[in-house]
Chain A
Amino acid sequence: MALALQTFATVKDANAALKAAGTRYLGGGTLVVRAANEGDVSVSGLVRSTDPALSAIEINDGKVSIGASVTMAAIAGHPDLGALARAARAVGGPAIRNMATVGGNLFAPAPYGDFAVALLALDAAVGTGDAELPIETFLADRDNSRAIVTYVRFALPKGDSFRFLKVSRIKPKGVSVLSIAVVLEHAGNGTVSSARIALGCMADRPVRARAAENALFGKTLDPDGIASALAAVGEGIAPITDPIASAWYRAEVLPVHLGRLLLG
């Protein structure tokens, strides 16, 4: 089945065309062309925009703005985004990373979307043509989102405050059993003064582990200090079951891997 592709110079025109039933936005193609190849008949038309702003990376005073069309390879190779390279490289193999975009990753259903897990821990803001939403709000309502995502914006994590882990059964590239991203801040006495923990594969989309975040507050990063966070990390999760792992397995190993990430 052929898909009519419409290309627009501006996001505004592309947004207008996207209002037609059955149309989807084409980023790198790794989600929507894949769906079409698989026979998803709900996709009848594709829209894209070649606006150069969508491919821009801007970094000013520790604030990062990444255009929605920026690829995982571009992030992994960017000299000032070294902190995120690990998360960007967690997506797919080399060819996928040359194609898959930041904007698309926000829509990738679990077990995909590892980079969106990182963005959730970074508490990014997601920009669309006329609005900016906290990423958590955006992800919760992403199935109803019709406006083209134009950028994500976040504060560059300081030092080693950002940690990311993807667990897969095949090395070096495999589908996620789970992924975890953490942003930690420490008080002067070394205890945790703020923690954001985002989980992949623990629902159909990335989710925050708020109970574990709260349990980490005021604790030190040692086996005793993190014990209550590990006990709480499974609160509210609903892991996916797929050929990679069952929901039961994912829930069982989640505290183990969070522990390794926090103590590592």
Chain B
Amino acid sequence: MAKVPVQFTLNGSEKAEFVESGTTLLNTLRDKIGDTSPKGGCQQGTCGACSVIVDGELRLSCLTLAETCNGVAITTTSGLAEGGVLHPLQRAFLDTFATQCGFCTPGMIMAAKVLLDHTPNPSREDVVEALSGNICRCTGYEPIIQAVLTAARANSQNAA
């Protein structure tokens, strides 16, 4: 089958790949580019583990075809840390024990990042709503909600 070119920005750096037509963004990121932070969970749009940020919007990379992403800017969890310093959300997830097996964590962090980008001081209800498309089978969600609220507080303190 003919390969098609795809070109986008991933965590600030230009990427250009040839993929088979119909390849999902998830498989392109993981298998072609080597960014394994988005996880392939259900492949059905139910679990949220594959969540990435496309042009500022949360998307499910398992249901997005790579060739529809030409020219977009993609953010994944692997692009959040700067110079070895964890992003406040990553730090908060560690500090509040919001990560157990870790499989859902990158998707949770992407959903939380979109929330905090638009709503720097979210309510608990805002957090629950923002994470409502992401499933965690370990934590019971409470530590994850606390992590996002903690990161929001840390951000607002840094900004003050």
Q: How far is the CB of B14 from chain A (nearest CB, A)?
A: 22
Size of A's binding interface in residues, CB under 8 A: 27
B63 at the A interface (CB under 8 A): yes
Interface contact B62-A95, CB-CB below 8 Å? no
In the complex, chain B residues whose CB is within 8 Å of the CB of A38: 43-44
Contact-residue size bin, chain B (C-beta under 8 Å from the other chain): 20 to 34
Interface, chain A (partner B; CB < 8 A): 1-5, 7, 26, 28-30, 33-34, 36-38, 46, 48, 73, 92-96, 98-99, 172-173
Contact A4 B129, beta carbon cutoff 8 Å: no
Q: Are A5 and B130 in contact (CB under 8 A)?
A: no
The answer to whether A26 and B65 have CB atoms under 8 Å apart is: yes
Chain A's closest residue to B19 (CB) is A2
The reply to whether A94 and B64 contact each other, CB–CB distance below 8 Å, is no
Contacts A172-B128, A173-B133: A95 and B59 contacting too (C-beta < 8 A)? yes
Taking the closest CB of chain A, its distance from the CB of B5, in whole angstroms, is 13
Interface residues of B (CB under 8 A from A): 1-2, 4, 20-24, 43-45, 48, 51, 57-60, 62-65, 67-68, 111, 114, 128-130, 132-134
Closest to B129 in A: A172
Taking a contact as CB atoms under 8 Å apart, the answer to whether B134 and A37 are in contact is: no
CB–CB A93/B133 < 8 A: yes
Chain B residues lying within 8 Å of A96, measured Cβ to Cβ, are 45, 60, 133
- Closest residue of chain A to B115, judged by CB? A94
State how many angstroms separate the Cβ of A75 from the closest Cβ of chain B. 15
Partner of B45, one of A7, A46, A92: A92
Task: State the 7 A-B residue pairs at the shortest beta-carbon distance, nearest first.
Answer: A93-B133, A3-B22, A173-B132, A37-B43, A2-B20, A29-B63, A95-B58
| Cα(A38)–Cα(B1), bound, Å | 21
By beta carbon, the residue of chain A nearest B57 is: A98
Q: A34-B63, A94-B130 are in contact. Are A2 and B22 (CB under 8 A)?
A: yes
Q: List 8 A-B contacts (CB under 8 A).
A: A3-B65, A4-B21, A5-B22, A26-B65, A30-B45, A37-B63, A94-B130, A172-B129
CA distance A2 to B4 in the complex (A): 12
With CB as the reference atom, state the residue of chain B lying closest to A73. B57
Asked if residues B67 and A5 are in contact (CB atoms below 8 Å), the reply is yes
Q: A94-B114, A94-B129, A173-B133 are in contact. Are A33 and B51 (CB under 8 A)?
A: no
Instruction: Please state if B133 and A33 are interface contacts (CB–CB under 8 Å).
Output: no
Given contacts A30-B45, A33-B63, A37-B63, contact A95 B21 (CB under 8 A): no
Which of A4, A26, A99, A172 meets B60, CB within 8 Å?
A99
Which residue, B4, B45, B133, has most C-beta atoms of chain A within 10 A? Answer: B45
> Which residue of chain B has its CB nearest to the CB of A173?
B132
Closest chain A residue, CB of each to CB of B23? A2
Judge whether A95 and B65 touch: CB under 8 Å: no
Interface contact A172-B63, CB-CB below 8 Å: no
